[in-house]
């Protein structure tokens, strides 16, 4: 499943996404929910009901049988280099942070 992650700033939200076939499993702040797109015809859907707060699923689109979901992708505060952290390790964390602040397509 393809996912487009739309960046959102938050220091208090933890999340993860996993896909099994056309079923998206989402966890937000330790609460899990699933979205089953099995059998969805080509087209788009939005406004999903979920127990997750906030709802991370913005849109689902199926084209030629391929599913793409648009999801919130949270990122926190700008990283600060730790006293014992190497410059290389810090630069790697900083690059991951900067990437999280951009809309990007990933496979889940």
Tens digits of residue pLDDT in 75-102: 999 999 999 999 999 999 999 999 999 9
Of 5, 96, 2, give the one whose Cα is nearest residue 56: 5
Average pLDDT over residues 6-32: 97
Average pLDDT over residues 56-75: 97
**What is residue 78's DSSP assignment?**
P
Given this model, what pLDDT does residue 13 score?
A: 96
Q: Would you place residue 7 in the very low, low, confident or very high pLDDT band (cuts 50, 70, 90)? A: very high
Q: What is the dihedral of CA 80, 83, 89, 95, to 10 degrees?
A: 10
Tens digits of residue pLDDT in 25-56: 999 999 999 999 999 999 999 999 999 999 99
The DSSP code sequence of 42-60 is SEEEE----S-SS--EEEE
Report whether 3 contacts 105 (CB < 8 A): yes
């Amino acid at each position: 499943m393809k996912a487009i992650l739309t960046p959102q700033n938050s220091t208090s939200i933890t999340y993860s996404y996993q896909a099994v076939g056309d079923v998206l499993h989402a966890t937000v702040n330790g609460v899990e929910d699933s979205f089953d797109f099995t059998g969805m015809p080509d087209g788009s859907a939005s406004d999903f009901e979920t127990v997750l707060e906030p709802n991370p699923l913005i849109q689902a689109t199926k084209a030629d049988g391929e599913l793409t979901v648009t999801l919130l992708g949270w990122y926190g505060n700008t990283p600060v280099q730790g006293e014992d952290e190497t410059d290389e390790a810090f630069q790697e964390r900083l690059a991951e942070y900067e990437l999280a602040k951009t809309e990007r397509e990933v496979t889940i």
